[in-house]
Structure 1
Amino acid sequence: MNGIMRFMYQFGTWLFNIMYLQMLWYLFTVLGLGVLGIIPATLATAGVIHKWFKDGTNIPIFAEFWNTYKKAFIKGNGLGLILVVLGMFFYADYVISRDFIQSFYFHAFIVGMIVIYTILVCHFFIIYNRYELTFFRYFKQAFLIALIRPFESVAMLISLLPLYYLYNFLPVLIIFIGVPLTLYPILWFSYRACIAVEKRSVELQEDNIKEN
């Protein structure tokens, strides 16, 4: 196939896989009784996309999704509950600051905390699927990645802007590809951040070995 035909074929395959992931997200959210299924289904979707970045797209999507979903049902829901509670706390602080306290400096502080929280949540999806860590170390690792690689962290948030306008222009996309399409750019930047940190860690270890 020539260049344009190859691109169209690859794009069509990618779009089909994205739609398939969205269907699996719906299915396993329902199987998890809705509330309990959302977080593991989302982590499983992120797990498949991470696998695409790591090993290519020629992987058994359903098997990868199911394996991640099973592992994430207990631990993922526990970690997700903490993130949800934190998110509700920051949102409540934001409303109180906006409607009652009305202090510019306090409001700026709350907005800054919400931005940091959002970045940590965005990194969490790759951290969970890439590393085997103890319960609270997932949050620590996400914070360290965000701190060490600020460019990728900011890029994750910026990547959501075109999606925001796209969904406003074509809201039907949310139904058919909303979850994996939203996760895709976030995970790509987070994956690049993890690769860079891992590479730097290996270089430091090699330098230490040479010095000793």
Structure 2
Amino acid sequence: MHSFVIGYYRFSVWAVRLAYVNLCWILFTFLGIVVFGFMPATSAMFVVVRKWMQGEEDVPIFHTFWKEYRTNFFRTNSLGLIFMFLGYFLVIEFNILRTQESFIYYIVSYSVLGTLLLCIVVWLYFFPIFVHFDLSWIDYLKWPFIIGISHPILTAFIFGVLGVVYYLTWITIPALLFFFGGSMTAIFVMWAASQTFARYEAAKV
């Protein structure tokens, strides 16, 4: 009975922490009018999650979140704008190519789609790398690409698990995505990506 109470208490504490971080992520995203708030809010969430994974369970969440949000606001947005404009351009280009009747345009559209998927892979690994490594501006774009391509099974595993979890949650209890969607995704992606970090730390990336 005693172990059950302790287990329930720890579960409740972590549920509150995850919901709190998720709420901070949503609020700070809207604080930056979404477009300018998403990148710094997401990087701040990954910073908190990383500290948890390193054993800092009692890290002051709001203070840490606000500090990282302010510190990396312009840095993350400068990189985020690249993702946004490149993604927007590729989507537009893909739609234009698909409207053409020539077969060659149809084939080229798949190369555009492949490039878009690579951008999504880079974006997936960007946040874990950004909060874990101190790199140059260009390396924050280069290393997510290298890690994503070098570990195709891990990349497919991440997308597969997230896809299944999102789908099952959406058709059962969609409200959970509002309370835990961001924070649980950050924990899973941070854990999965960190499995590759020892190799690059040893090489002094």
Q: Normalised by the shorter chain, which TM-score bucket?
A: 0.7 to 0.9
Report SS of the residue matched to 2:153: helix
Equivalences, count: 200
Q: What are the within-5 Å matches in structure 2 for residues 152-171 of structure 1? A: 152-169=154-171, 170-171=173-174
Higher helix share: 1
Gaps of 5+ in 1: 203-212
Deviation at 1:5, TM superposition (A): 5.0
Aligned to 2:133: 131
The two structures have a TM-score, normalised by structure 1, of: 0.81
User: Stretches of 4+ moved more than 4 A in 1?
Assistant: 4-7, 101-104
CA distance in 2, matches of 1:198, 1:149: 16
Q: Report how far residue 35 of structure 1 moved.
A: 2.9
- Conserved 8 A contact 1:152-1:193: no
CA distance in 2: counterparts of 1:136 and 1:29, whole angstroms: 24
The equivalent of 1:37 in structure 2 is 37
C-alpha change, 1:34 and 1:196, in structure 2 (3 Å) is same
Gaps of 5+ in 2: none
After superposition, the Cα gap between the structure-2 partners of 1:105 and 1:48, relative to the gap in structure 1 and judged at 3 Å, is: same
Match of 1:174 in 2: 177
- Cα displacement (A) at 1:156: 1.8
Letter in 2 for 1:75: R
Matched residue SS, 1:39: helix
Measured in 1, the distance between the counterparts of 2:147 and 2:128 equals 11
CA contact (8 A) 2:98 2:106 kept: no
Which of 121-130 and 153-162 deviates more?
A: 153-162
Paired-residue identity, %: 28
CA distance in 2, matches of 1:141, 1:6: 41
Partner of 2:115: 113
Other-structure match for 1:198: 201
What SS does the aligned partner of 2:54 have?
A: helix
TM-score using structure 2 length: 0.84
Tell me, yes or no, if the aligned pair for 1:44 and 1:69 is still in contact at 8 Å: yes
Residue pairs, 1:1-212, within 5 angstroms: 1-2=2-3, 5-100=5-100, 105-169=107-171, 170-199=173-202, 201=203
C-alpha deviation, 1:140, in angstroms: 1.1
Deviation at 1:7, TM superposition (A): 4.4
Deviation (angstroms), 1:8: 3.6
The answer to whether the 8 A contact 2:128-2:193 is kept is yes
